[in-house]
Amino acid sequence: MTTPSALGVVRAFLPPAAVPHVEPVLAAYALDVRIARPRRTKLGDHRPPPAAAHPHRISINSNLNPYAFLTTLLHEVAHAATWERHGPRRRRTRPHGPEWKREFEAILAPVVAADVLPTEVTWALARSMRNPAAATCSDRGLVLALARYDAAAANRLRVEDLPEGTFFRVDGGHAFRAGRQIRTRRQCFECRSGREYRVHGLLLVEPLESVEAMSLVQPRRRRIRPTR
């Protein structure tokens, strides 16, 4: 059974209408669910029990909107379900392989069928669960449907919407210049080092004025040869 506090921990972060559908999912496994401060590299994670009689540990970022929180929570619970179902063979299962995909679809299907979410979110989840991506941010349709319910972000654009040559800053403070689009990612150049990076097109960033961006460029040091 789940730890007594699991549903209590997540209830305030979920869409209220989805709570009755989440409750039996949480109750099916021993889970220690934690709310984490925002992380740039992931929305949530799952850690299997370190030993018998220990719960699975799941963490979800605190800054997700209710529908993104729900999707991430069920994504991570599917990892727990995969771990439990495949027993001695679990080491041979890939983290987001067919076994996990089947568990995620089985967990998500009742929520989608209940029609308790906004229409565009329900449709995006229905499409996604046919072949779910390893990360929510890799599913363009789902990302855009969920993002409609994010708090308004002042002066933020997605990398794919920036004109080529635009300077921008990511949340970590580093500044880049946008290059050409390469499939789902954008060729970008870090201002200080000039190094090339491939930045996901759906990432929200802060556009910069050229003058402001140029002040962040690290000038190259000239090597001065000693006079003879």
Residue 17 pLDDT exceeds 90: yes
User: Any bridge partners for residue 186, and if so which?
Assistant: 181, 199
Nearest to 13 by CA among 54, 69, 96, 79: 69
Q: Does the pTM of the predicted model rise above 0.85? A: no
Backbone dihedral angles phi then psi of residue 142, each to the nearest 5 degrees: -70, -40
pLDDT tens, residue by residue, 99-137:
999 999 999 999 999 989 999 999 999 988 887 776 776
In Å, how far are 87, 181, 188, 215 from 163, measured between CA atoms?
50, 10, 12, 20
Q: What are 81's two structure tokens?
A: 């379900």
Q: Going by C-beta distance under 8 Å and a sequence separation of 6 or more, which residues neighbour residue 92? A: none
Contact between 170 and 176 under an 8 Å Cβ cutoff? The reply is yes
Q: What percent of the chain has pLDDT over 90?
A: 51
